[in-house]
Amino acid sequence: MQTSEATPRSSATGVTWDLRDLYLSPEDPALERDLSSALERAKAFEQQYRGRLRQGIDPTSLLEALQEFESIAEQMDKPVIYAHLLHAADTQNPRYGALLQSTLERHSQIKKHLLFFELEWMDLPDEMAQTLLTAPAIARYRHYLEKARLFRPHKLSEPEEKILELKANTSTRSFQRLFDEIVSGLTIQLGRSKNAQKLTLDQALTKLHEPDRALRKNVAQAITRVLRSHARVLTYIFNTLVLDHKITDELRKFLTPMSSRHLSNEVEPSTVDALMTACENSYDIVQEYYHLKKRLLGVRTLYDYDRYAPIYGELPQCDWASGRRIVLEAYRAFSPTVAQIVQEFFDKNWIDAEVRFGKAGGAFSASTVPSVHPYILMNYTDKLRDVMTLAHELGHGVHQYLSRRVGHLQADTPLTMAEMASTFGELLTFRKLLEEIQDPRVKLALLCSKIEDSFATIFRQIVLTRFEQRLHEARRTQGELTPERIGELWWTTNQQMFGDSVKLTDDYRWWWLYISHFIHVPFYCYAYAFGELLVFALYQQYLREGEAFVPKYLDLLSAGGSDSPQKLLAPLGIDTSDPSFWNTGLKFLRSMVREAQGLASSS
């Protein structure tokens, strides 16, 4: 643990969330009551409904079962969510780690009494299931039931499912927690002296946006040193979880490592292939931009630690109060209804933005449960780009807030739709900032920063997905991989995107070690590219339609995951299964690079 003198500070110091809408404290008796009550209700549910579906259940009885099932699911999930948020806010607190482990174990004990229900539903003959699916009484739960049957070919027997659920707490989930605690506890020291500045990993990564090239290089080297010092255990975690994924695929008869993710995302593999191919065919956008940036920075070689360097010195600082104002105004200009929801996040302390050691890195919005509301975690370091992160996470928050109306079982969207509202809100905020700035040099710098963020959300995520594919393939065919071998896969895949526009150093071979998506949600990353390009299309539609677009968009958010992405997007005239669709968003991104080239020529 760090001393108080080393504690990082920003204008968001003191901006922490109030989790009392979930539970008053870890000792709140309501937490224990919820876990105990959920267990008793699950046992009663099992006793009442086991075998009922197979015997032939009427729609009204099925509706009653689904309502009780959903209520139990929310009650048992709430303590785990609370424990996850406590742990994310302070991963180094052993009390929170113990609570998280305890709630996960209790959750598994409850879930084993409910597993039969979905399994019996999957086992129903198609004709019987279809009759129930078309019954008006269960219309609210239709898509939940439809989606469950998609996994019918991949389910195991009930005893096997119970074993996997119980063992996950000492296998997959335990390795994920270990990864989180190691990475969030990393201290990046700039320099060798006793008084050298000490940073969290998030703070150190932010330094790569500084104008001082020597500082960026030193920070990159410092990050590499720390990652390499933890490479043995982190590599073992990677190897173990990739192997675990392989075993699960074999047990569930998934043909490829990505098959299960495609199914849960309700997207055809051909759609993802078209998305990834379109992006890879447009790597020239990345290379064209970084050649421009090389000229603007006046350097002969652009290294990996130069990618996020500001064009003209440092962008203006933006304190928490200003960031809050900017984001609120951007959302209000789009929709007063949305702005009112965003205001609640600030007024009611649903955001944890303070920077501190031990806190999870990055940012997220946790949907929690429909009876409460979302919570946002981020690390606000007073950079203008943090305003974009705030707008992004609030977009998630608005989406999750609105989708509560469809209930706990269907509120969450597939990952491909999960990034839609966040990137849309980020784009609204960016355009507002760009319109307000008068200085052409600052305007260019902000535009370049946004282009780079879009590259990170689109092209980088495709690179991460290709890397993951190659990682899983190598682990399956070559056995346990060394960090050097994984680093080679990482370096080569990244180099394909940059071509000759950026020179990757050997240090960059170690920078896969801290990326949590590989650990927690395999093959998540293509969803970012999917969402960003989808938003570029939606935003162009908004520019054409104006206010008429807003209610359709809010209806889309309010629907949550109550239907397939294809059906939810159809009223807006969007078909993501059309391979040419992705070029719409890529053309928009290319136009931003052209805009930057024009500003660069005139400034």
Q: How many CA atoms lie within 13 A of 44 on its CB side?
A: 10
- Three-class SS state of 114: coil
Contact (CB, 8 A) for 557 and 402: yes
Query: CA 124, CA 145: separation in Å to the nearest integer?
Result: 11
482 and 559 share one domain: yes
Last residue of a domain, one of 170, 195, 211: 170
Name the percent of the chain lying above pLDDT 90. 87
Contacts of 581 (CB under 8 A, 6+ apart): 537, 574, 575
- Kindly report, residue by residue over 40-96, the tens digit of the pLDDT: 999 999 999 999 998 889 999 999 999 999 999 999 999 999 999 999 999 999 999
452 and 600 share one domain: yes
Angle between helices 581-602 and 440-457 (to 10 degrees): 150
450 and 559 share one domain: yes
- Kindly report, residue by residue over 121-178, the tens digit of the pLDDT: 999 999 999 999 999 999 999 999 999 999 999 999 999 999 999 999 899 999 999 9
Residue 2 pLDDT > 50: no
Contact (CB, 8 A) for 267 and 147: no
Q: What is the pLDDT of residue 437?
A: 82
138 located within any domain: yes
- Kindly report, residue by residue over 376-424, the tens digit of the pLDDT: 999 999 988 899 999 999 999 999 999 999 999 999 999 889 989 999 9
Q: What is the pLDDT of residue 190?
A: 87
276 and 243 share one domain: yes
Contacts of 114 (CB under 8 A, 6+ apart): 42, 45, 46, 69, 72, 73
**Prediction pTM value:** 0.86
215 located within any domain: no
Mean pLDDT on 297-314: 91
Q: What is the pLDDT of residue 7?
A: 52
164 and 262 share one domain: no
The CATH number of whichever domain residue 281 belongs to comes to 1.10.1370.20
Q: What is the pLDDT of residue 248?
A: 96
What are the DSSP calls for 459-484, one per residue? HHHHHHHHHHHHHHHHHHHH-SPPHH
Mean pLDDT on 481-489: 98
- Kindly report, residue by residue over 242-292, the tens digit of the pLDDT: 999 999 999 999 999 999 999 999 999 999 999 999 999 999 999 999 999
Query: CA 441, CA 600: separation in Å to the nearest integer?
Result: 8
303 located within any domain: yes
516 located within any domain: yes
Residue 587 pLDDT > 80: yes
399 located within any domain: no
Q: Which of 539, 531, 493 is nearest to 512 (CA)?
A: 493
Query: CA 459, CA 292: separation in Å to the nearest integer?
Result: 18
- Three-class SS state of 313: coil
Q: Which of 531, 524, 538, 522 is nearest to 574 (CA)?
A: 538
Domain boundaries, position 424: 172-186+230-316+416-603
297 located within any domain: yes
Contact (CB, 8 A) for 575 and 581: yes
Q: How far apart are the first and last CA of the chain?
A: 48
The CATH number of whichever domain residue 29 belongs to comes to 1.20.140.70
Residue type, 421: A
591 and 489 share one domain: yes
Q: What is the pLDDT of residue 391?
A: 97
Contact (CB, 8 A) for 15 and 354: yes
Q: 377 — phi, psi (to 5°)?
A: -120, 135
Check residue 326 and give left, alpha or beta (phi > 0: left; psi -120 to 50: alpha): alpha
Q: Which two tokens stand for residue 433?
A: 């900032």
Residue 590 pLDDT > 90: yes
456 and 466 share one domain: yes
558 located within any domain: yes
The number of domains in the chain is 2
Q: How confident is the model at residue 4 (pLDDT cuts 50, 70, 90)?
A: very low
84 and 72 share one domain: yes
149 and 182 share one domain: no
181 and 101 share one domain: no
Last residue of a domain, one of 170, 203, 220: 170
Q: Look-up: residue for tokens 């998609």?
A: 150
356 located within any domain: no
Last residue of a domain, one of 170, 204, 222: 170
Contact (CB, 8 A) for 66 and 135: no
25 and 159 share one domain: yes
145 and 181 share one domain: no
Q: What is the pLDDT of residue 385?
A: 84
